[in-house]
């Protein structure tokens, strides 16, 4: 009897796996949300009202203060890493001057410049992710604080790459001093990233926060709007960069 049950269970598992492989091969897209409707405008007002409710932000500041009191040393280390940004910018400029004036030019300088570029690019993502990680480690955190932490962590994923390219194209950066990119290409990419980064950061924050607090009833409307704005901004940036 037990052997028959195990055989039947294994057969069901195999059948489910076969259907899963079939769907992976032939199913292109599954709709995960309802189409955009006029009713979403009202839901959007509720979503934005939840995000900008003073009581929620007051609880967020309380949770942040509680985290600072519990882990003061960790917070001080994080603040020290942020302050080191000025040193990294000055060092990157010195390396660029050495290369341009042909005082010293070697592959090692490029490696150092790359390391400094990554360090500079990581400051803003770190500035967002660091307090978020500290909030998630707290016990009995308010749902709004959890959502904000999830949104900030979600932002760091696209932000680190975009800020990295922006830093590469900056004055005395890798693109100018080491890779000899054309000025027009460097300026075009930097200019477009300058307005794309805040848009992607804000929309990604909403997407991450709403995904973290999935039980929020009207979050779908704001998530759809954020995704559409983000896709439109990325498309415009891609088109402008290709045209130039």
- The pLDDT, as a whole number, for residue 2 is 66
Structure tokens at 116: 């400094």
- The pLDDT, as a whole number, for residue 199 is 92
- The pLDDT, as a whole number, for residue 145 is 81
- What is the dihedral sign for C-alpha 28, 34, 40, 45? negative
Residue 124, CA distances (Å) to 9, 78, 177, 206 in order: 51, 12, 23, 18
- Residues of the chain with pLDDT below 70 are 1-4, 7, 26-40, 70-85, 87, 92-93, 96-97, 99-107, 172, 176-178, 214-219, 244
* Domains of the chain by residue range: 1-30, 39-243
Structure tokens at 144: 């709004």
Owner of token pair 């804000």: 202
Q: Where are the alpha helices (DSSP H) in the chain?
A: 2-26, 39-51, 54-70, 72-83, 85-100, 107-121, 123-136, 143-168, 183-212, 219-243
- The pLDDT, as a whole number, for residue 115 is 77
Cβ neighbours of 45 (radius 10 Å): 13
pLDDT digits (tens, 9 = 90+) for 92-130: 667 766 766 655 556 677 777 777 777 777 777 877 777
Query: Nearest-5° angle of CA 108, CA 110, CA 111?
Result: 65
Owner of token pair 């709004």: 144
- The pLDDT, as a whole number, for residue 148 is 84
């Amino acid at each position: 009897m037990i052997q028959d049950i195990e055989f039947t269970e294994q057969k069901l598992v195999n059948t489910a796996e076969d259907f899963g492989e079939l769907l992976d091969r032939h199913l292109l897209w599954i709709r995960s949300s309802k189409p955009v409707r006029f009713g979403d405008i009202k839901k959007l007002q509720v979503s934005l009202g939840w995000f900008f409710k003073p009581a929620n932000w007051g609880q967020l500041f309380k949770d942040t203060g509680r985290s600072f009191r519990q882990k003061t040393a960790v917070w001080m280390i994080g603040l020290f890493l942020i302050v080191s940004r000025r040193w990294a910018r000055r060092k990157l400029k010195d390396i660029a001057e050495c290369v341009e004036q042909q005082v010293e030019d070697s592959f090692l300088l490029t490696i150092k410049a790359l390391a400094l570029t990554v360090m500079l690019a990581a400051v803003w993502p770190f500035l967002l992710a660091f307090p978020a990680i500290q909030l998630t480690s707290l016990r009995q955190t308010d749902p709004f604080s959890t959502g904000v932490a999830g949104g900030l962590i979600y932002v760091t994923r696209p932000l680190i790459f975009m800020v990295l390219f922006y830093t590469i194209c900056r004055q005395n950066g890798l693109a100018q001093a080491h890779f000899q990119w054309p000025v027009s290409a460097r300026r075009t990419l930097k200019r477009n990233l300058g307005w794309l980064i805040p848009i992607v950061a804000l929309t990604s924050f909403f997407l991450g926060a709403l995904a973290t607090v999935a039980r929020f009833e009207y979050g779908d409307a704001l998530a759809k709007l954020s995704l559409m704005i983000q896709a439109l901004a990325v498309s415009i940036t891609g088109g402008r960069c290709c045209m130039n």
